[in-house]
Structure 1
Amino acid sequence: MLSLTFFLYFGQLGVLVPYLGVFLDGRGFNSQEIGELFALVTLMRIIGPNLFASFADKSGKSLGILQIGAFLTFATFCSIFWLNSFWGLTIAFGLMMLFFTAIAPQTEVITLGSVRGDATKYSHVRLWGSIGFIVLTVLAGKLIDVFSSEAPIYISGAVLLGLFLVTLSLKEATASEHKSSAADSIWRKVRTKVFIGFILSSTLIQISFGPYYSFFALYARDLNYSGQETGALIALGVAAEVIIFLLAGRLIGRFGVKWTLFVSMLLTGLRWYLLAVAAQFWPTLIVSQLLHAFSFGLIHAASINFIHHYFGVQFRSQGQALYTSIGFGIGGAAGNFGAGLIWQQGQGAELAFTLATGFALLGALLVACIPSRYMPK
């Protein structure tokens, strides 16, 4: 059931991340408004993960937090069917994202507890999230062509209901996974140069994703790709991600977290540069999407491995929450907001992806500066 939870969770992301811009464009929003809405919604990823992780670590009830989050995500999402204004949709999507952030960190904690931190076993469970992303992305792209830009919200509603129902069959992690020591403090871990370097690099990578997450589907449409073709391109990237998840445990074990992150971030920079200068050529888009294996898949697997070993049993939920809220929350919000300002209905696409290249390379540089002896092997 953990595999199915990942399938539905990331399947939901496979609907909204690529196509929320298309949905909002269909509702009459311009690129700046789309970027602002993305940014405001993403800010919920700063508040939510830490709030829910604190409850989970103190109560030892990760599963309960997960189930409540899944139910409230579905309940708040339903309001989107009756809203159309900028602030109405922003508040609705924001509340949905706030509760949605309760799901992934607790699922990660329960999964890592069940596989006892084994990177290979974790990757084999987590890859089902990538499969869900592929299936729902292709389906949503096809339904947009057949019906309209409203299709993503109908698919999302069904997926979120299914996700809540699946969480009801999960089992709680063992109590030992949640034990904490009053003598210890998570801030002792957070204040180190190692964690600061790691979290800053993670934030820079998420900033670099801003143009891709906010506008790739619209970018592909401007390049005369259909919704189905766009879905296939996105699915190709996630298919490459599935393959890398199968290999992630061995790659991290062979090269270590530091160099896995470093090389993956360099390749992420290459990916954005290709989109900036040669996106009009379909082979470029294919290569760019294949690099998603590194820019998301391997970076994510290595980052989760770092969090699991660096924070240990005591603060694993809060460590995961910090990674999500700072990297994906602050970084994602900044990237989405900046992309919205620069995009200018597609006229600023080259500049947006060029800047994304710089942020990815700067993230790689920060990782290179972290002494290897402080990183998990």
Structure 2
Amino acid sequence: MPPTARWRFALFYLCYYAALGAYTPYFARWVDALGHGGYVIGTLLGLWYGSRILAPPLWTALLQRSTQPGRWFVAGSALTLLCFAAFTVTDSALGLFAVMALFGLFYNALMPQFEAMTLTALGPRVSEYGRLRVWGSVGFLLAAGSYGVLLDRFGSAAFPWLTLPLLAAMLVAAIPHRHDRPPGHAPSMADAGHLWKRPGVRRFLLVALLMQVGFGPFYVFYTLHLQAHGHDGVAVGALWAVGVLIEIALFWQAPRLIERFGAPRLLAACLAVTVLRWTVTALYADSFAIMALAQATHAFGFAVFHACCMRLIAEYFPGRRAVAGQSLLYGFSSGVGGVLGAGLAALMWERGGGEWAFLAGAAAVAVAWMIHALRARPATVSSPPPQ
């Protein structure tokens, strides 16, 4: 891939995840400022994660009927911007639900298509993927680290207006890809076939789902939890930035760690560290220093855990089944796990605030650790016989 083409892909990753870096940490703060409680916030984020289940297959079905999928990619980016703009004209719960359903449907459909376009463009040089994807983490870092200060300066009500320019930049970054194409055939989850019944697959997917449930309080209420314990926008932005900075660093080291310790053993360590992280976040949120140390473990709970999942999914779903396995993992963890995590977080937040919410997250991950520890076959999964 020539340097000019690499920058086209890097730029879209940067803009897409910059918008996500504004949305993920601060959307709940905006909804809370509108006067809505934890149940509304949890339902809105539940709709967001639910769209991750529906959007990719619906969008894929549309693309497979199109002779110009790249133009649909640009159209999806434009519709994402248009739907998010509707947040500026509604503040009722029903209005927010309707806008979220449409916004999530388009926004969450973009990245799976773009990932496929990226891998197609890289061809045999797939090892260069990390050098492109890291710009997404940079974009998330810049937005998450700065928007707390901006919202302190302009007020929480400015959130949608401050985020719109990032989505507009994403649309501009999408335009050069209007002629790009994903692979000719994108296998669906149904293509996984009998592999669903292979030893260890369902246990692994359940562990991934519960890990995402445990992250529910973090993605939905972390910013509000910190604010409730006296941290201002500068501190909140800095804590989000700490997590992403170390995440970027450890993403590069994850393959070496997996080669040295093995994915199953490293996965168990990630689960144990995350249980400790959510417990500390629940009980010691008053201390910026302790929260910074807790955020530093995000590199294990997200970066290394994700890398382990990718290694295991490649073993469980080898060869041409890999995309089907990715879809299955995405639907279970980010989709179903995200919905359940948002719901659990909302319920616990309303009953006992951030302490209860994060302790519930710790409990969900503790269950995941026990399920993983009791796995029947901890060794590397053998390849299936040729089909």
Identify the TM-score tier after normalising by the shorter chain. Answer: 0.7 to 0.9
1:65, 1:102 within 8 Å by CA — same for their partners in 2? Answer: no
Task: Quote the RMSD (CA, aligned, Å).
Answer: 2.8
Distance 1:5 1:305 in 2: 26
Query: Paired residue for 1:154?
Result: 161
1:92 Cα deviation (Å)? 0.6
Query: Paired residue for 1:7?
Result: 14
1:94-133 paired onto structure 2 within 5 Å: 94-114=101-121, 121-133=128-140
1:105, 1:317 within 8 Å by CA — same for their partners in 2? Answer: no
Distance 1:14 1:222 in 2: 21
Query: Paired residue for 2:246?
Result: 240
Query: Paired residue for 1:325?
Result: 331
1:45, 1:97 within 8 Å by CA — same for their partners in 2? Answer: yes
Query: Is 1:222 aligned to 2:228, yes or no?
Result: yes
Query: Paired residue for 2:360?
Result: 355
Query: Is 1:31 aligned to 2:38, yes or no?
Result: yes
2:14, 2:137 within 8 Å by CA — same for their partners in 1? Answer: yes
Between 1:33-42 and 1:330-339, the stretch displaced more is 33-42
Query: Paired residue for 1:265?
Result: 271
Structure 1 counterpart SS, 2:269: helix
1:111 Cα deviation (Å)? 3.5
1:118 Cα deviation (Å)? 7.6
Query: Paired residue for 1:251?
Result: 257
**Equivalent residues, number:** 372
Query: Paired residue for 1:142?
Result: 149
Query: Paired residue for 2:79?
Result: 72
Question: Which letter does structure 2 place at the counterpart of 1:126?
Answer: R
1:196-215 paired onto structure 2 within 5 Å: 196-215=202-221
Query: Is 1:364 aligned to 2:351, yes or no?
Result: no
1:168 Cα deviation (Å)? 2.4
Structure 2 counterpart SS, 1:84: coil
Distance 2:30 2:51 in 1: 20
Residue among 100, 104, 108 paired with 1:93: 100
Question: Which letter does structure 2 place at the counterpart of 1:355?
Answer: A
Question: Which letter does structure 2 place at the counterpart of 1:348?
Answer: G
Q: What TM-score, normalized by structure 2, do the two folds share?
A: 0.86
Between 1:221-230 and 1:152-161, the stretch displaced more is 152-161
Which ranges in structure 1 are unaligned for 5 or more consecutive residues? none
Question: Which letter does structure 1 place at the counterpart of 2:360?
Answer: L
Relative to 1, partners in 2 of residues 1:115 and 1:84: Cα closer, same or farther, differing over 3 Å?
A: same
2:187, 2:324 within 8 Å by CA — same for their partners in 1? Answer: no
Which ranges in structure 2 are unaligned for 5 or more consecutive residues? 1-7
Q: Looking at both structures, which has the greater relative contact order when contacts are Cα pairs under 8 Å and sequence separation is at least 6?
A: 1
Between 1:119-128 and 1:141-150, the stretch displaced more is 119-128
Relative to 1, partners in 2 of residues 1:169 and 1:129: Cα closer, same or farther, differing over 3 Å?
A: same
Question: Which letter does structure 1 place at the counterpart of 2:11?
Answer: L
Distance 2:329 2:124 in 1: 17
1:83 Cα deviation (Å)? 1.2
1:156-171 paired onto structure 2 within 5 Å: 156-170=163-177
2:116, 2:183 within 8 Å by CA — same for their partners in 1? Answer: no
1:228 Cα deviation (Å)? 1.8
1:60, 1:175 within 8 Å by CA — same for their partners in 2? Answer: no
Query: Paired residue for 2:58?
Result: 51
Question: Which letter does structure 1 place at the counterpart of 2:254?
Answer: A
Q: Deviations 1:70-111 (Å, cap 9, x if unpaired)?
A: 222112112111111101111111211111121222233334
Question: Which letter does structure 1 place at the counterpart of 2:265?
Answer: W
2:49, 2:339 within 8 Å by CA — same for their partners in 1? Answer: yes
Q: What TM-score, normalized by structure 1, do the two folds share?
A: 0.88
1:279 Cα deviation (Å)? 2.0
Distance 1:301 1:58 in 2: 33
Query: Paired residue for 1:275?
Result: 281
Structure 1 counterpart SS, 2:36: coil
- Report % sequence identity: 29
Between 1:17-26 and 1:258-267, the stretch displaced more is 258-267
Distance 1:35 1:179 in 2: 32
Q: Deviations 1:180-199 (Å, cap 9, x if unpaired)?
A: 69xx9323333434332222
Distance 2:118 2:303 in 1: 17
Distance 2:59 2:239 in 1: 34
